[in-house]
A = this chain, B = another copy of it.
């Protein structure tokens, strides 16, 4: 068995209560006692048993993570990477609540409670994927990534999708393109909706009228990008630039464009979204909008932590700026 608080107390010649007090930063402890205890704690490598701590109702120092996509979602890695340092700084461990999806009728909230998680980060869900009512009512501090849930102790964080697409449109418009299509993704999702808004806003700003036939909607995959681009290419009034909802879609679109005997960016300019690792390596290197996933991950943890520690903190709605990464998939429009 590992060292416990009693061992430390015995070694220090004090009571367990005293050890507990120094461990929890109570100020009513004599400086010498405190020092002695701290020295012993270090020497004996004592770490309080988290289960016991959690049990007595104090902090479990555990944040749960809840995903649809499964652990293998490509962004998720980057988000995790961003969470890492914040987790360390705040002293949390992250627990992946795996049992969840096995059993739809098994309440997620119960799982959280049985694990004593102090807060939860949710990623990969759309509004209608699930009824979050129980979670909201549970009062468990919750942070949604890319989903605008904001009520009770739940807030969210997301890239500035609208501004991002607006920027992409402005960029190609600045290259004198007037026939700018939007190969969107999941138009009815939170992010999809905002991106469509951004597209319209971008067009408006550039003085370009919106056309329904320049908007096609997919699911962010390469295959879908390919298919949708074919549709756009079939348009008698072919667009000269296409802004995509994901890099994968953009790559699929490029494939379709080439198959049609056209080239990127000479004939059609393409803008991606996400700046996944591939983006810089495909040909031509993709001009795309970079989402700052690391910041999103880090802030997600910082925000749940805020929710956990400050009962009065209003549920956050944080928007993270994006960056347009200009590479080689866009060129000035040919004279028209």
A interface residues with partner B (beta carbon < 8 Å): 2, 45-52, 54-55, 60, 62, 70-74, 76-78, 80-81, 83-84, 87-88, 91-99, 101-102, 106-107, 110-111, 113-116, 251, 277-278, 281-283
Looking across the interface, which residue of chain B has its beta carbon closest to that of A91? B99
Partner of A251, one of B60, B83, B97, B281: B281
Pick the residue among B51, B81, B93 that contacts A55 (CB under 8 A).
B51
Question: With A and B bound together, what is the CA distance between A20 and B244 in angstroms?
Answer: 55
Q: Are B83 and A77 in contact, CB atoms less than 8 angstroms apart? A: no
Can you identify 9 A-B contacts, CB atoms within 8 angstroms?
A2-B113, A45-B107, A48-B114, A71-B80, A71-B81, A72-B78, A72-B80, A74-B277, A95-B95
Chain B residues, Cβ within 8 Å of A51: 50-52, 54-55, 60, 115-116
Among B55, B77, B91, B95, the residue within 8 A (CB) of A71 is: B77
- Chain B residues with Cβ below 8 Å from A83 are 71
Q: A102 to chain B: closest CB distance in Å?
A: 4
In the complex, the answer to whether A98 meets B94 with C-beta atoms within 8 Å is yes
Q: Report A298 CB to chain B, min CB distance, Å.
A: 12
Closest-CB distance, A297 to chain B (whole angstroms): 9
| A100 closest partner in B (C-beta) | B88
* Residues of chain B with a CB closer than 8 A to A49's CB: 55, 113-114, 116
On whether the beta carbons of A47 and B98 are closer than 8 Å, the reply is no
* Docked CA distance A70–B45 (Å): 24
